[in-house]
Structure 1
Amino acid sequence: MMTPTPKSKGRPEALAEKVYQALKQDIFEFRLMPGDRFSENEIAERLEVSRTPVRQALFWLEREGYVEVWFRSGWQVKPFDFEYFEELYDFRTVLEREAVRRLCAMPPLACAEVLAELKRFWIDTPRPDDGRIVSAKDEAFHTTLVAAAGNQEMARVHAGLTEKIRIIRRLDFTREDRVEATYLEHAQILQAIFRQHTDEAQRILTGHIAVSKAEVRKITLHRLQQARPQPAAPEEADTIHRRG
């Protein structure tokens, strides 16, 4: 089931944005699974809105590649396209290797300053038990590396790419061994950057991403179904007021 967003008032565009964010979050949290089919009416009734903001939100999601029209009679979450995700991982590797090269070329004090928060979490602080926290922090680790390199356009492109592979990364962090490996490898990458060892940092980073990329091919319907959370009790869910 989808999770309704908090009550909303305001312009139709603002309501469509809330529906859009709610549906995207449902996809990322596996409440809407790849291949799931649904109608605009089902979403409108569940979120207590009219079909107009639902349709607008779905068109935005379609443009971004998350959903598709199903024979003009409904919608479905796009099934996994393994080659597409692998291409995204290849592009991600190129961007992050370049970011590491730039960070290693920075003055050491400046580099230590921009990466201080990453060092605090991945090296200096004990690991949290919640894999969901580690998953979010893993994403932030890589986006911070690219942003800290100082090229805003590169960071913008990388952020968009990161969102598209988020569902894969969250599956990756349902396994304890992957959480442990992520902690170790992130610490190694940071330490190599601080030593300005470009080749070493790029080698560890490339291997780190390659393991995640290899996991893409291991995704099965059973694994996805295991990741789907149990629906919340009705009294725990907020709703969007019906409008329009």
Structure 2
Amino acid sequence: MSAARHGFARELPTREPLAEQVYQRIKRMLFDFELMPGDRFSENDVAARMEVSRTPVREALHRLGREGYVEVQFKSGWQVRPFDFAYFEQLYDLRIVLECAAVERLTNLSELPEMVDRLAEIWCVPTDQRRRDPQLAEVDKAFHIGLVEASGNAEMARVHRDVSEKISIIRRLDFTQLPRIEATYDEHGQILEALRRHRGEHAKRLLESHIEISKAEVRKITLHMLQAARERLRD
């Protein structure tokens, strides 16, 4: 793979540590499918094109490797981890287990944590106050992380944060489609209302359905975007 093809030379911002800048730049390329699943590249390619030393590049790539986006190839540099939908489905299934357990813990409390009210202030809003910008994917992630953290189990929250990061590359695509954005607001509002009424089983059913629908939608969107990216490369 030619690193030049992917525009590593674009100017880096200057407000963050260099390794963080390199990390964010490569991650954007992964998320935008400028770096395609299966693509191979070397630390020297990235360092030369970004006009930085190999040290921040190595730090960034090892961080991305821990997050499951790239993997080191013995004596042949790095490779973008091939898409494995079976793996992502396992992570989504784990999300369901963790979040449903969190909801059960929450509904067994005599009084809900303040976090639930804070989440409602974001998601239970009139249609004309709903966000429709690219950062909504992070707000959605914060909603689900907030529910698990509010349940009070720190280890469960740690595992859930790790899972959430690993699926970010496809999960964010759910917020590129306006109908999915509107559905997310509606479904989050329903889940929060069930929590407020301490209807645990109903809240768990809503949450499981919400995650399953999202899983199916991001699979379709991901396949479409991968195909579009491959066609651009052939042009």
Q: TM-score range by the shorter chain?
A: 0.7 to 0.9
Task: Report if aligned partners of 1:4, 1:22 keep a CA contact under 8 Å in 2.
Answer: no
Q: CA deviation at 1:222?
A: 4.2
Q: How many aligned residue pairs are there? A: 221
From the superposition, tell whether residues 173 and 41 of structure 1 become closer, same or farther in structure 2 (CA, over 3 Å).
same
Corresponding residue number in structure 1 for 2:152:
150
Report the alpha carbon displacement of residue 45 of structure 1 after superposing the two structures with TM: 2.0
Separation of aligned partners in 1, 2:24 and 2:222: 26
Relative to structure 1, is the Cα distance of residues 201 and 21 closer, same or farther in structure 2, using a 3 angstrom cutoff?
Answer: same
| CA apart distance, 1:56 | 3.6
Instruction: Give 2:172's aligned residue.
Output: 170
2:201 to 196, 199, 203: 199
Aligned CA RMSD, in angstroms, stands at 2.6
Residue by residue over 1:75-117, the C-alpha shift from the partner in whole angstroms, topping out at 9 and shown as x without a partner, is 2211211110000001000000011111112223x43x22122
What secondary structure does 1:76 align onto?
strand
- Distance of aligned partners of 1:153 and 1:30 in 2 relative to their CA distance in 1, 3 Å threshold: same
Output one character per residue of 1:166-192: Cα deviation in whole Å (capped at 9) or x when no partner: 111111211122111111100000000
The separation in 1 between residues aligned to 2:12 and 2:91, in whole angstroms, is 30
- 70 and 165 in structure 1: CA distance in 2 versus 1, 3 angstrom threshold: same
Q: TM-score, normalised by structure 1?
A: 0.79
Distance in 2 (CA, whole Å) between partners of 1:135 and 1:216 is 12
User: How far apart, in 2, do the equivalents of 1:170 and 1:224 lie?
Assistant: 14
Q: Which amino acid aligns with 2:208?
A: T
Alpha-carbon distance in 1 for matches of 2:31, 2:150: 26
TM-score normalised by structure 2 residue count? 0.82
Kept in 2, the 8 Å contact 1:95–1:158? The answer is: yes
Say if 2:132 and 2:178, in contact at 8 Å, map to a contact too. Answer: no
Q: Among the aligned pairs, what percent are the same residue?
A: 57
- Of 132-141 and 31-40, deviating more is 31-40
* SS of 1:32 mapped into structure 2: coil
Q: How does 1:1-244 map to 2 (within 5 A)?
A: 1-2=7-8, 5-7=12-14, 15-69=18-72, 72-108=75-111, 110-111=112-113, 113-124=114-125, 126-130=129-133, 132-220=134-222, 222-224=224-226
Structure of higher RCO (CA pairs closer than 8 Å, 6+ residues apart): 1
Report the CA distance between 1:70 and its aligned residue.
5.0
Following superposition, the deviation at residue 8 of structure 1 comes to 7.4
Instruction: Return closer, same or farther for 1:23/1:220 CA change in 2, 3 Å cut-off.
Output: closer
Q: Residues of 2 paired with 1:59 and 1:179: CA distance? A: 33
